[in-house]
Structures are given as structure tokens and as C-alpha cells.
């Protein structure tokens, strides 16, 4: 529910208590929590695209799937009922749309509404948000008490593609997974996929049966481990205990399992490397050069591990339908790619699975009382607020576990904070960081897409509540603890009235 009011003689401006940006997994989750915890509050969801789903609708490349289990990637409040644990995009989209329908969110989502800027007024304790209607070309405004930014942290418009020498010479087709053509015909074609991350290891088995041959060209190997597509224990628990209890128990089990594996890899990297190597050797053909193609120069979990369901990547390699080449690119040629070793990979289609570009808060221009907000000058508080920026929450999930695990905790805290402010008559809140607080990059992660963007991101501090925790258990203690602490400042309308009157 929204209301409209004229602003400075201009066209009517819609007014809401909370404006949610993004109708993906984070934004839809936040909307459900608001519906349940604060049913009297008005809110709207604005989505730049013409459909809900975020990542899971944007990416259309063959085989797209989750890289973590859906018992932890799913919402805590909605059981995952499908048999797949590592699920493909259509199943995840079905789950997301069910959440929208079951919680009456359909009419609250405004599609093709791209947020351009948001200006906070301390005098009014409100955000005035500028939005481009990409369907009509209009510029509209929404006034909101709060903004919850669930737009993720990467650029939806453009993926990352290095400037490869000789690219213009290649006579075949070059495709980035973020912009996959619906009519791409790779049947009987020679395909080279540049990259070694989750997208690349998904594309190989998904395309191999139709392509003449597919090659993954990697500069640096990645840790890759097989997991069952279906969790037999989870399916048994759901059958015996019912969907809700079985889901809850599986979720607890998998959260603990994820954390245990991460901690073991961090504490005992040499042992973890040996275990992963043995697993890889057992899945690959005899004589396969494991040292060259599956031996990353960094320790396990310094970057995200890649999961392959039912060992599909390894099975495809064993069948001879796919191969891996570890080398550096010298130049593209008319017929493919010339490597620094002198080998030429002939191809009809080159897929640049070379990563993403980070764009925190969707590139929105923020200002507070007329002063632009420079994100690198802010520090993240409790993983969801920016120092000095009132009534603004952002949702960034885990990089070492399921994204949604953290989103759920953030939404819970967000709703508790709203309740606390209502109970005490506050209408604005902001976090204040000590100017001498030591800071470091927001994401301590070695992935290229993170490293390229560090100078554009907010910072984090050395300890809670300023640290960007990647531990579900630590975050659960922090975000389910006391709502307020000495780092938060609150204000109410009566305070501003007194200042205006000279009191």
C-alpha cells in the first residue's frame, strides 16, 4: 500500500514506509519479513527488469544452477520441497515465484523501475528516490522512510571481459554468459570456454553432448569438488518428519557442514589440498595431468570452491567430450585462440566466462542532506548499514556459504530495528564510526571480480559490529542480540522541532 503527495508543486510523489530495491532472492525475502513482522507498514518493491528473479532470471546460459545446496540457499521460513539439493535455475525461480504468490507480493512489485538516485533529508527524515521508468521513459519519485537495497553486488548490465588481443580478428562468435543469446546454436560446433569458475564448470557438461567438442581454457586452476545433486538424507528426513521439520533439520546439518569444511580448509590447508586432490584423481581418467589442471596456487577457500553435482564435469572429461587446457592467451586468431605455449585452439564459438563486475547498491547516487555519499568513505555496520547514512540497509550475503543464510539474519535484524524505533518514537537512525577506526577492504576474498573493485567498495573494521563477518554463527549472535548499541544514533521528530524552534 502506498500514498501519494505533491512535492514543491510537482507531480504527486508516492510515499511508503520502506522502499525495497530489487525483486531477487534478497528483495523478495525482505518483503516477506516485512509482511509478517510489520503488516501495518507500507512498502513497495522496485525492479529494473521486467520480471522477478534477479540472478536466476538474468543468466540464461545452459545448465545454470546453484553452487550451494538449496536447504541453506532457500529461505528459513519456506521449506525446499524439491528432490534436487543442487538445483537448476528453473527450480529456483519456481521457488521464488511461489514465495511471491504465497505472501501476496505480486501487486507490490513495480517492474522496469530503475533507481537512479536517492537523497536523504534529515529535516524530513525521508528519502526522495529518483526512478527511471524504462517502459515509458518517465522519471518518477518515491518518498520513503527507509530503503532496503536488495540489488546484490554486481553489475547487471555488463559482465567482465578482458581486452583480449586480436579479438576483432576472430571470425566465429564470442559470447559472454551474462548475455547469452537465446538462439545460439552450438550443435556440432567447437567451443572454447575461457575461465575456470562456477560458470565455466557448469557450461562444460551442459554443452558437451551437443557440441563437437568443448574446451575449458583456464589461466589458473580452481578447486573443484563433486557433490550429489540430491541429498539422500534430506529427502529421507522430509519423508519421515514432513517437509517443514525435515527441511529445518537438514538446514541445520548443512550450515554446520559448510562451516566445518571452511574452518578445516582454513586451519589445515595442506591436508585439505591433499584430500581434494585425491577426490579429483579418483574422478579423472588415468594419466590425466592433475598437477597442471587441478592444482591451484592458492589454498582451499582463499577463493570459493566450485561444486559439480553428481561429478558431471569429471564424467564429461572421462567420456572425451570435454578437455581442459591450462595456459595463457597470446592472441585471438581468425580460427580461434593462440596460446603463449604456441598451441592454437581452433573454435567456432568462444565463451568468455571471465567473471562479473561489482556494482554495490546498483550504482545508485546517494546523498545525505545534499552531500554525496562516497562508498569507500563509509564503514559497514552489522553487515547491513553504512556509517553516516541514515535509514539505509543493504543486503550482501556470504561468499563462503549460501548467500541467503545471511540475508535472512539481516532481514530479521532490520525488522527488529524498525520495531525498536517505533517503540521509542524514533524516525531515523544511523551508524557512527570512530574516525580512527582501522579499516580494511569490505570483502577479504581473492576472486578477481572482488579484487578489481576494492577501491569502490565500503570498508569494514577489525571487529564486530564493524566487521563484515562471513560466519553464520557469529552473525546469528550479533544480529539476534541487542538491537541498539553505542555505535547507533537515533533521532525523532520532536528533536528536530526543538532545534527548529531554537530550543
Q: Which of 478, 469, 413, 408 is nearest to 443 (CA)?
A: 469
Q: Using the predicted structure, report yes or no on whether residue 11 has a pLDDT greater than 90.
A: no
Mean pLDDT, to the nearest integer, of 294-303?
A: 92
Query: Each residue of 69-126: pLDDT tens digit?
Result: 999 999 999 999 999 999 999 999 999 999 999 999 999 999 999 999 999 999 999 9
Q: Using the predicted structure, report yes or no on whether residue 454 has a pLDDT greater than 90.
A: no
| CB distance 118 to 130 below 8 Å | yes
DSSP 3-state of 382: coil
| CB distance 370 to 380 below 8 Å | no
DSSP notation for 13-48: EEEEEEEEE--SHHHHHHHHHHHHH-TTS-EEEEES
Q: Using the predicted structure, report yes or no on whether residue 154 has a pLDDT greater than 90.
A: no
Q: Using the predicted structure, report yes or no on whether residue 16 has a pLDDT greater than 70.
A: yes
Q: Which of 452, 207, 190, 454 is nearest to 312 (CA)?
A: 207
Percentage of the residues of the chain whose pLDDT score is greater than 70: 95
pLDDT of residue 499: 39
Return the higher-pLDDT residue of 445 and 170: 170
**For residue 234, what are the contacts with CB-CB under 8 A and spacing of at least 6?**
71, 85, 246, 247, 250
Query: Each residue of 236-268: pLDDT tens digit?
Result: 999 999 999 999 999 999 999 999 999 999 999
DSSP 3-state of 259: helix
C-alpha cell at 235: 529427502
Q: Using the predicted structure, report yes or no on whether residue 10 has a pLDDT greater than 50.
A: no
Q: Using the predicted structure, report yes or no on whether residue 233 has a pLDDT greater than 50.
A: yes
Query: Each residue of 314-356: pLDDT tens digit?
Result: 999 999 999 999 999 999 999 999 999 999 999 999 999 998 8
Give the count of beta carbons closer than 10 Å to the beta carbon of residue 51.
14
Residue 493 pLDDT class (50, 70, 90 cuts): confident
**Cα dihedral sign, 369-374-377-383:** positive
Mean pLDDT, to the nearest integer, of 61-74?
A: 95
DSSP assignment, residue 154? B
Question: Measured between alpha carbons, how far is 477 from 141 in angstroms, rounded to an integer?
Answer: 38
Question: Measured between alpha carbons, how far is 207 from 62 in angstroms, rounded to an integer?
Answer: 7
Q: Using the predicted structure, report yes or no on whether residue 503 has a pLDDT greater than 80.
A: no
pTM: 0.93
pLDDT of residue 162: 87
Question: Measured between alpha carbons, how far is 440 from 376 in angstroms, rounded to an integer?
Answer: 10
Q: Can you tell me which residue has the cell 541429498?
A: 231
Question: Measured between alpha carbons, how far is 402 from 499 in angstroms, rounded to an integer?
Answer: 46
**For residue 150, what are the contacts with CB-CB under 8 A and spacing of at least 6?**
20, 21, 22, 24, 26, 27, 28, 29, 30, 395, 407
Question: Measured between alpha carbons, how far is 37 from 418 in angstroms, rounded to an integer?
Answer: 10
Q: Which DSSP helix (H) or strand (E) runs through 476? A: helix 472-479
Q: Using the predicted structure, report yes or no on whether residue 497 has a pLDDT greater than 60.
A: no
Q: Using the predicted structure, report yes or no on whether residue 25 has a pLDDT greater than 70.
A: yes
Q: Can you tell me which residue has the cell 500514498?
A: 3
Residue 288 pLDDT class (50, 70, 90 cuts): very high
Q: Which of 182, 149, 81, 177 is nearest to 383 (CA)?
A: 149
| CB distance 197 to 353 below 8 Å | yes
Residue 3 pLDDT class (50, 70, 90 cuts): low
Residue 494 pLDDT class (50, 70, 90 cuts): low
Question: Measured between alpha carbons, how far is 275 from 300 in angstroms, rounded to an integer?
Answer: 11
Question: Measured between alpha carbons, how far is 375 from 299 in angstroms, rounded to an integer?
Answer: 30
pLDDT of residue 355: 85
Q: Using the predicted structure, report yes or no on whether residue 477 has a pLDDT greater than 60.
A: yes
Q: Using the predicted structure, report yes or no on whether residue 179 has a pLDDT greater than 70.
A: yes
pLDDT of residue 2: 53
Summary mean pLDDT of the chain:
93
pLDDT of residue 453: 78
Question: Measured between alpha carbons, how far is 57 from 51 in angstroms, rounded to an integer?
Answer: 8
Query: Each residue of 382-402: pLDDT tens digit?
Result: 999 999 999 999 999 998 899
**Which of 165-174, 202-211, 305-314, 357-366 is predicted least confidently?**
357-366
Residues facing 146 on adjacent strands = 18
Amino acid at each position: 500500500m502506498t500514498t501519494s503527495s505533491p512535492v514543491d508543486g510537482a507531480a504527486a510523489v508516492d510515499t511508503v514506509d520502506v522502499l525495497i530495491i530489487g525483486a531477487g532472492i534478497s528483495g523478495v525475502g525482505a518483503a516477506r519479513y516485512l509482511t509478517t513482522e510489520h503488516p501495518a507498514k507500507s512498502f513497495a518493491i522496485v525492479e529494473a527488469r521486467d520480471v522477478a528473479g534477479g540472478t536466476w532470471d538474468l543468466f540464461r546460459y545452459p545448465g545454470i544452477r546453484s553452487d550451494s545446496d538449496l536447504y541453506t540457499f532457500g529461505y528459513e521460513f519456506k521449506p525446499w520441497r524439491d528432490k534436487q539439493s543442487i538445483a537448476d535455475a528453473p527450480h529456483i525461480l519456481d521457488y521464488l515465484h511461489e514465495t511471491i504468490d504465497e505472501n501476496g507480493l505480486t501487486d507490490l512489485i513495480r517492474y522496469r523501475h530503475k533507481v537512479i538516485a536517492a537523497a536523504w533529508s534529515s529535516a524530513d527524515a525521508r528519502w526522495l528516490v529518483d526512478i527511471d521508468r524504462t517502459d515509458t521513459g518517465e522519471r518518477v519519485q518515491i518518498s520513503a522512510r527507509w530503503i532496503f537495497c536488495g540489488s546484490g553486488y554486481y553489475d547487471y548490465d555488463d559482465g567482465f571481459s578482458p581486452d583480449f588481443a586480436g579479438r576483432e580478428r576472430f571470425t566465429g562468435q564470442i559470447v559472454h554468459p551474462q548475455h547469452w543469446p537465446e538462439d545460439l546454436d552450438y550443435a556440432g560446433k567447437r567451443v572454447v570456454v575461457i575461465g575456470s569458475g562456477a560458470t565455466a564448470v557448469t557450461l562444460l557438461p551442459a554443452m558437451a553432448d551437443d557440441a563437437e567438442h568443448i574446451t575449458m581454457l583456464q589461466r589458473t586452476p580452481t578447486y573443484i569438488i563433486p557433490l550429489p545433486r540430491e541429498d539422500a538424507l534430506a529427502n529421507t528426513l522430509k519423508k519421515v518428519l514432513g517437509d517443514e521439520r525435515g527441511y529445518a533439520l537438514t538446514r541445520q546439518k548443512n550450515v554446520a557442514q559448510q562451516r566445518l569444511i571452511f574452518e578445516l580448509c582454513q586451519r589445515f590447508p595442506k591436508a585439505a589440498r591433499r584430500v581434494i586432490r585425491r577426490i579429483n584423481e579418483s574422478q579423472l581418467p588415468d594419466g590425466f595431468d592433475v598437477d597442471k589442471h587441478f592444482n591451484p596456487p592458492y589454498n582451499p577457500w582463499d577463493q570459493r570452491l566450485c561444486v559439480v553435482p553428481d561429478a558431471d564435469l569429471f564424467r564429461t572429461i572421462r567420456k572425451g567430450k570435454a578437455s581442459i587446457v591450462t595456459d595463457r592467451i597470446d592472441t585471438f586468431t581468425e580460427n580461434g585462440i593462440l596460446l603463449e605455449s604456441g598451441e592454437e585452439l581452433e573454435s567456432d564459438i568462444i565463451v568468455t566466462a571471465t567473471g562479473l563486475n561489482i556494482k554495490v547498491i546498483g550504482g545508485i547516487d546517494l546523498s545525505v542532506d545534499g552531500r554525496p555519499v562516497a562508498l569507500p568513505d563509509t564503514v559497514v555496520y552489522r553487515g547491513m548499514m553504512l556509517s553516516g547514512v541514515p535509514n539505509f540497509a543493504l543486503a550482501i550475503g556470504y561468499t563462503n556459504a549460501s548467500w541467503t543464510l545471511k540475508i535472512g539474519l539481516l532481514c530479521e535484524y532490520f525488522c527488529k530495528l524498525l520495531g525498536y524505533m517505533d517503540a521509542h518514537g524514533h524516525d531515523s537512525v544511523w551508524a557512527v564510526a570512530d574516525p580512527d577506526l582501522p579499516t580494511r577492504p569490505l570483502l577479504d576474498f581473492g576472486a578477481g571480480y572482488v579484487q578489481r573493485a576494492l577501491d569502490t567498495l565500503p570498508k569494514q573494521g577489525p571487529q564486530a559490529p564493524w566487521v563484515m563477518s562471513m560466519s553464520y554463527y557469529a552473525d546469528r549472535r550479533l544480529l539476534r542480540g541487542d538491537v541498539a548499541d553505542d555505535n547507533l544514533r537515533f533521532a525523532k521528530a520532536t528533536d528536530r522541532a526543538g532545534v527548529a524552534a531554537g530550543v
